[in-house]
Structure 1
Amino acid sequence: MRSRLLILPVFVLLSACGMIDGRTDGPRPSQNVERLSPPSADTRQCLANLQRQDVRFRRLPDRHFSNGCRAIGAVQLVEVGTPTRNLGAMTCPLAERYARWTREVLQPSAREHFGQQVTLVETFGTYGCRNIAGTGRLSEHGKANAIDISAFRLADGRRITVLGGWNNGDRRERAFLRDLHRGACERFEIVLGPEANAAHRDHFHFDMGSRGPYCR
């Protein structure tokens, strides 16, 4: 039976932005706990898809921040099968695709190339209120709709980084990272990696933006 691995409890959507834990299995709402609004039909279907994948998550309250930033229909992933560092609020579709990618791409590729599991995914986070670099357009991070992935740790302790492994890693590392990138392009709307531009030399960017599909 597949063992269930817990995501490290790092909740990085900062309280300064007003986001709180939206879990529904805790104490009854009080004046200090915000009630969750009913999810849209699309979000309800997405949440059901997460449950069918045995993904544990907490719903988060819808939030609107300054500069047009927002987190609508977002969840906090609790257990997805592969521990992941730095996960904050994610739109449900992004969370659902990430769960699928770890199960269908990440772990099979690690077994193929290294004969072992990935025990940790390191990320630069999900939500961040900012524009796309060099533009006035809001980044998908400002909508909790993107994730940046920087490194992977294997069961034997080996650490593979996008920065060090994409061009300068050994044959297995390069093949592994390209498998992950290619598999992401089949699941997310926009995927950017080291060959996209200098800003992505050290991480993969996956998002569910409406300007896709785009893979580079």
Structure 2
Amino acid sequence: IVPDDNACLGRLERLGVKAEPVAPLLDGMCGAARPLRVTVLPDGVALAPAATLTCTAAEALARWSTEVRVTGERLLGKAPQKLQIGGSYECRGQNHDPSAKLSEHAYANGVDVMGFVVEGRAPIAVGASREGTPEAAFEAAVRARACGFFRTVLGPGSDPAHANHLHLDERERPAGHRLCQ
């Protein structure tokens, strides 16, 4: 089932997301029919660099980012103005293993968040905050909240490949199962 892209695009617009359609991606088994280049999330939160995502993944990221903003205000005193992106669309196997099943990145259906930029603080790199700090509490809270928006959430402690970022994707699984580690 292909989601109604026009309805999804309308929801992104109402959320305040800045995204533009890009040419269909096709690279062997990889690709996306109607990818978007997403540059800004709700409330002006920038993506650095821009992410190439399906509308469904972009919408999940946008909805989660509103929780990131609220959590930042509550735990850090300010909302992040930028998400540092490590990767979005890339034709590759899971964990960069060429013999593995294709990653959701191969379908523009996943994004890696490396860190958060909050005015007046050093950038918060995923997996680098000392336990007991406001930054560590913020990271734990936004990671937990991501599980309500994405079908897959992996990060530090999941496995060595995800020690320095949050991998968020919209992989379809049987019976709506979610993987949140």
TM-score by length of 1: 0.75
Residue type matched to 2:109 in 1? N
Alpha-carbon deviation of 1:155?
0.9
Distance 2:108 2:126 in 1: 22
1:93 corresponds to 2:56 = yes
Alpha-carbon deviation of 1:41?
5.7
- Give the ranges of 4+ consecutive aligned residues of structure 1 lying more than 3 Å apart after TM superposition: none
Partner of 1:79: 40
Alpha-carbon deviation of 1:170?
4.1
Alpha-carbon deviation of 1:156?
0.5
1:171 corresponds to 2:133 = yes
1:127-142 superposed matches below 5 A: 127-133=89-95, 134=97, 135-142=99-106
Larger radius of gyration: 1
Change (3 A) 1:142 1:47: same
Could you report, residue by residue, the CA deviation over 1:2-55 in whole angstroms, capped at 9, with x for unpaired residues?
A: xxxxxxxxxxxxxxxxxxxxxxxxxxxxxxxxxxxxxx6621211111112122
Alpha-carbon deviation of 1:87?
2.3
Partner of 1:18: none
Distance 2:179 2:3 in 1: 27
Distance 1:174 1:101 in 2: 18
Partner of 1:162: 126
| Cα root mean square deviation, aligned | 1.6
Partner of 2:70: 108
Distance 1:163 1:174 in 2: 8
SS at match of 1:206: strand
Any unmatched runs of 5+ in structure 2? Answer: none
Distance 1:174 1:119 in 2: 18
Distance 1:119 1:56 in 2: 14
Which stretch shifts more, 168-177 or 106-115? 168-177
Would the aligned equivalents of 1:72 and 1:143 in 2 still touch at CA under 8 Å? Answer: no
Distance 1:79 1:215 in 2: 25
Alignment match of 2:22 (pick from 53, 56, 60): 60
Distance 1:63 1:84 in 2: 20
Would the aligned equivalents of 1:59 and 1:76 in 2 still touch at CA under 8 Å? Answer: yes
Distance 2:156 2:3 in 1: 37
Residue type matched to 2:126 in 1? V
Residue type matched to 2:37 in 1? Q
Partner of 1:20: none
More strand per residue: 1 or 2?
2
Any unmatched runs of 5+ in structure 1? Answer: 1-39
Give the number of aligned pairs. Answer: 173
Q: Percent same amino acid at aligned positions?
A: 28
Distance 1:154 1:41 in 2: 34
Change (3 A) 1:178 1:41: closer
